[in-house]
Amino acid sequence: MAKQVESVYGTALFNAGKEEGTLENLLGQAKEVILVLEQNPEFTRLLVHPEIGADEKAAMVRKVFDGRTDDALTGLLVAATKKNHGDKLKAILSFFVKIAMEELKIGAAYVTSAVELREEQKDAVFKKLLQTTGYQEMEMHYTVEPGIIGGLIIQIGDRVVDSSIKTQLDSLKKTLI
């Protein structure tokens, strides 16, 4: 059922954004709302509290987001809350973000390196990913993990390219044993 709620509401917001030509704007706002929800878990707890009525919960959502987000996004948040899906708002918006990014040809790359990459190295990775993936834009997320010794691990969606020294050494070890 949860997947269905995510896809129904997320797709509705996606379609509204496409029809109104506001998909890119909604994408940015949805990411911001996700951050707000993550940083304020007590707000989500209020939205699922059994002693607070649906109309009161919807009024709280409207008070927080009305005028700060697009009417379509505020409307979705209010509608989902009224239907007792306040605990699924983050999942709904995450589903929307995923399909909106695909539509807008924006990828998200998670790059792990053994040491902090210099700006020119980051730029080279960014350009190479744009050339090889078909995305027109790429959100880059960098982490440093000294345990990989050297090389890079790059993940885009469910695809992973692991050129780390640690993985190469592990492979060599398996072939020698």
**1-55: per-residue pLDDT in tens?**
456 999 999 999 999 999 999 999 999 999 999 999 999 999 999 999 999 999 9
CATH T-level topology, domain 2-102: Peroxidase; domain 1 (1.10.520)
Average pLDDT over residues 110-127: 97
pLDDT of residue 3: 67
Closest CA to 3 of 174, 24, 11: 11
Orientation angle between helical segments 2-20 and 71-82, nearest 10 degrees = 160
Is the pLDDT score of 160 beyond 80? yes
Strand order through the sheet with 106-113: 137-144, 106-113, 152-156, 159-162
With beta carbons less than 8 A apart as the criterion, state whether 86 and 65 touch. Answer: no
Sign for the pseudo-dihedral over CA of 73, 78, 81, 83 = negative
* pLDDT value, residue 177: 81
Q: What angle do CA 125, 127, 130 make, to 5 degrees?
A: 110
Average pLDDT, the chain: 95
Q: What pLDDT is recorded for position 63?
A: 95
How many C-beta atoms surround the C-beta of residue 3 within 10 A? Answer: 9
Alpha-carbon distances, residue 12 vs 3, 5, 9, 30, 148 (angstroms):
14, 11, 5, 13, 42
In 41-149, where does DSSP find H-type helix?
Answer: 41-47, 54-65, 71-82, 89-103, 119-133
Q: Where are the domains of the chain?
A: 2-102, 107-176
Reference 77, options 37, 22, 25; nearest CA is 37
